[in-house]
Every structure is written in C-alpha cells, then in structure tokens.
Structure 1
C-alpha cells in the first residue's frame, strides 16, 4: 500500500518549518513516494525544483510557492540551485477560510509564481516564524505568538493562490463557500456517492445551481471533479499496489469490476492493467 506519513513522526506540536539550500543539481527520484496526513507548503526563493503530485510532474522556477494537500501522492524528482522553505502543518492549525481557498485553487494550480513584494514579505515572516519556533518553550503567550505568525504566513500563501480580486476579501461569497464545501464533500464521499445530485442534496441546493456554481469557480462541471477523484485514486492504487482490479474496484465503491474497467478506460484512455504496466516501465 502507499505509505502515509504522519506529521507527529517528524515534528512536535503538529508543525514543522525548515529552510533548504542546494547549490548544485540533485536528482531525488529515489525518494519514497508517499502521502501525508497534513499540509505541505514549499516557498521557493530561487532555483528550480521538480516534484510529482498525483501523477503530474510539477515545476517551481524562481520565486514560487506550492502546496500539497493531505492525501495527495507525491515525491521529489530534482532540485537545481534551490533555496526553499518547507512547512508541514496539521489541518487544524489552518483557518477554515484558508483551507477553503487552498481546497479550490491547489488542485487546479499546485504551484504559482510569487510577486517580488509578496515574496519579500513572506520571507521576512518565515524568518520570524523560524526564530519563534526555535525559541518556543511552551506557555499560552509563546503559543499565541507562534500561532499568529503561522496564521500570517498561511494568509500570504493563500493570497498567492487567489487570481481574482474577490478572493482577497475577508469573507467568502456564498457561491465560493458552496464550491469549497462541494470539493471537500467529494474528497470524503466519492466512493459511495458518484452522482452530482447526491452532493446537491448534501448541500441543500438544486443540481442546477450546483452546476452553475462549480462551473463558474473551477471551469469544470461537478461530474468532472467526482470522476477526477475516483480516477486519481484508482491510478494511485494501480501504480503503488499489487491489488487486483476486482479489489480496487471494490475499494472505490464499484459493485461490478467490469464496469469499473470501462469507466477507467473511458476517462484515462487506457485499461487498468495496461495503465499499470505502462506506468511502471
């Protein structure tokens, strides 16, 4: 099975921050591909890095930031003259507003460039955060300072993902909140609920309104996101495990493994076993 790493294995208190400097080009393809139970943020100051996230090869060039959501399968490939910050943090440390913004934007665009002014401000905040983390001795006051700096850094990161002026507002519009709630519900319920109408009922809205909201905010209809969740998890299981097609179809909520095979082939362009063989070559 795909290994799942817990933040408790690498950091106390559900939070880690570190700065990485690589003066040469390094191949990291042998790093273990895995999932995390927490958020990962990469804030790159300079250089070029390449990572894989759910079978997509993603590059960061120059001043850029990236986010890996809990549960996404990922691994490092290479780093070239790279200076970057890494933050690992439990979901409960991230405000609902920031989780909502990231949940909508990151699947569409996992890595984004940073404007010079934002990059400079974020780096200053991260330096303060690193010092505060090193000096942290417990206590309510110290915890308050640390959490305030975390909140400030995450606010800048979330803002970096916002491409429209309305996203910078303090509150979320009703349609933005619906879009975020839909994506969250899909990630938790796609095994048992594969019809968009199921999610409209969960959200107490009509299917027509759900379609309009999701299409407006993401550029794709609701069914796209449901099918993407299913096929992405299927690809993970096909590549990283030796489970049979019947076992995988059962894990994904399909009663008929033949129907699952047709579903996967239609959406992925290859039959499950062919995908497994080709992706492992």
Structure 2
C-alpha cells in the first residue's frame, strides 16, 4: 500500500494529539483524498450530513453520528455536505489496552452509531476546550490537561461503542479468537487462503474456528478470508499501478484466471472494469 499516503502523528503535532472543527464555513482545509493515518480518529457530527468512505464502504453521517477509524485504515471524505463536525486525532500511545480492545472489537463490524443528546453536548463542550487548549499549549501542565480532555472524549465514545458491542451478546472467548484470527490475517500482504493455517496457529480445529468467526462476524472463515483478499485487491487496483496479474501474484494467487473469477463473482465486475469504473 505504498502508493496510499500515510499521515503520521508527528507530522500533525509534536505532542500526538490534535483536533479540528470542520464546517462549510470553516477555514480548515479538509483532506478529501484517500489516505491512511498512523493514529486513531474519533469524529462526531454536531449538525448537518456528510458521507465518508472507509475501506470502500460509504457511511452516511448525520447529527449525533460518531465514527472511529483505526490506525492504517484507508478512508476519505466522499461528500462533505453541510455537516459541522469535530475530529480528534490521537496517537495510540495515549490509549490504554482495554480501550484498544474495545475499539478492535468495534472494528470487527465498524458502523457509524448515534449517541445520546447528553453525550453529544458533553463531547461538543470537550472539543471546544481541546481546540482552545491546543492554541494555548505552552508547558507540560497544559499538555497534561489536553491529554486528559482528549482521553475523556475517547472514553465517552468508547463507552458508547462498548454498550453497542454488549448488546450483541457475543461470547467473550469467541471475540478473542476472532480478533486473534484477524490479526494473523492482516499480518502479511500475501493472504493464506487455507483455513487450517489459521486454525493451527490458534491451536484450535478448523471447524471450531469457522463456528467462532461465523458467530462473531456473521460469515464463515472462508468468506471472511475472501472478503479480506478482495479488499486488498480493490486497494491495489485503485491506488497502485500494478497490473491485474501482478496484483494476483502479490496476493499469493499464482493462477491469474482464478483470481479474476473470484473477484468478478464477489464484486460483480472484473478487476479491469472495477479499476476503470472507480478511476473515472
């Protein structure tokens, strides 16, 4: 994914925490091209509507909508609309392990979600204080206050996400296995399509792995692996100049014709047509 710009926290702030208010009248430049970030992003829409794309899935946001992107997720603004929103950019070093765990669980089925009016009011007040503090930051004490305010924002949003996750009543052990499976799957750009490979690494049977992943995500292990492969293929088709054959080999599929058939069946059009359509 070398051709997709990667924004690092150090490029935005020497502290690792920064924020923006974005609106039709805001002087802030909105980054509307596809990119990745090395940090977490937490966003809330105060009013209006907009549309964002995360890994080729478009999400419509409206007042009270909250969304979070993980480090290195590919995303872009599809339509800024008339939304007034606030964005918090925070380096992972400021986020504790339990919170990262919750955010990783949320990322298994990432969707925008609504928060209560009270939570929205609290977050908007916190963002106002953060934006003011960023402009006034001069010493270690003010940095500590800024960090505490930012972590409070993360805490409110994570708490809301945790309640949504809790409502789904997933088996805790199943979630842990699925997250471990997902980490193994994303460890290498070349995707191993053999279910047994992951089951053996996790010291469980392929049948049990399939049962667990399907319970948590709603799809089988084979389908989850295929979805990941298709996502990687889409990224390379759109954001690199590699040929379809080179992409197939890059993904670990030596049979170029087989890759084309799998992609076409999953997406509805061939890799070549997908690239042409997306870049038009």
TM-score band by shorter chain is: 0.7 to 0.9
CA contact (8 A) 1:185 1:199 kept: yes
Matched, 1:76 2:83: no
Structure-1 residue corresponding to 2:185: 186
Cα distance, 1:85 vs structure 2 = 0.9
8 A Cα contact 1:53 1:75, kept in partner: yes
How far off its partner does 1:64 sit?
A: 1.0
Give per-residue Cα distances to partners, 1:14-69, cap 9 Å, x unaligned: 22212223259xxx7x9322222222221111111112222222111111111222
Q: Is the contact between residue 20 and residue 84 of structure 1 (CA under 8 Å) also seen in structure 2?
A: yes
Q: Deviations over 1:235-264 (max 9, x none)?
A: 111122221112212222223323322222
SS in 2 for 1:99: helix
Q: Distance in 1 between matches of 2:225 and 2:185?
A: 6
SS of 2:82's partner is strand
Deviation at 1:131, TM superposition (A): 4.3
Q: Distance in 2 between matches of 1:12 and 1:22?
A: 28
Shift of 1:137: 3.8
Give yes or no for contact 1:104–1:183 (8 Å, CA) kept in 2: no
TM-score scaled to structure 2, two decimals?
0.84
Output aligned runs, 1:131-280, within 5 Å.
131-139=132-140, 144-164=144-164, 166=166, 173-189=172-188, 191-280=190-279
Unaligned runs of 5+ in 1: none
1:103 is matched with 104
- Partner of 1:177, secondary structure, is helix
Change beyond 3 A, Cα 1:97–1:212: farther
> Cα distance 1:245–1:125, how it changes in 2: closer, same or farther (>3 A)?
same
Aligned mates of 1:280, 1:241 — CA distance in 2: 12
Contact 1:100–1:177 (CA<8 Å) still a contact in 2?
no
Q: CA deviation at 1:168?
A: 11
Deviation digits for residues 118-141 of structure 1, max 9, x if unmatched?
2223233333444444444454x5
Offset of 1:73 from its aligned partner? 2.3
Separation (CA, whole Å) in 2 of partners of 1:275 and 1:168: 35
Correspondence 1:33 to 2:67: no
Inter-partner Cα distance in structure 1 for 2:206 and 2:189? 17
Alpha-carbon distance in 2 for matches of 1:222, 1:260: 18
SS of aligned partner of 2:24: strand
For 1:182 and 1:13, locate their aligned partners in 2 and report how far apart those are by CA, in whole Å.
33
Aligned 8 A contact 2:49 2:81 in 1: yes
Contact 1:66 1:112 in 2 (8 A): yes
Equivalent residues of 2:126, 2:153 under 8 A apart: yes
Residues 18-29 of structure 1 mapped to structure 2, 5 A cutoff: 18-23=20-25
TM-score by length of 1: 0.84
Higher strand share: 1
User: Cα–Cα, structure 1 residues 183 and 159, in superposed 2: closer, same or farther, change >3 Å?
Assistant: farther
Contact 2:17–2:147 (Cα < 8 Å) also in 1: no
Assess, with a 3 A threshold, how the Cα gap between structure 1 residues 121 and 208 changes in structure 2: closer, same or farther: farther
User: RMSD of the TM alignment (CA)?
Assistant: 2.9
State the number of aligned residues. Answer: 274
Tell me which of 16, 19, 30 is aligned to 1:17: 19
Q: Distance in 1 between matches of 2:217 and 2:95?
A: 22
Contact 1:214 1:220 in 2 (8 A): yes
Unaligned runs of 5+ in 2: none
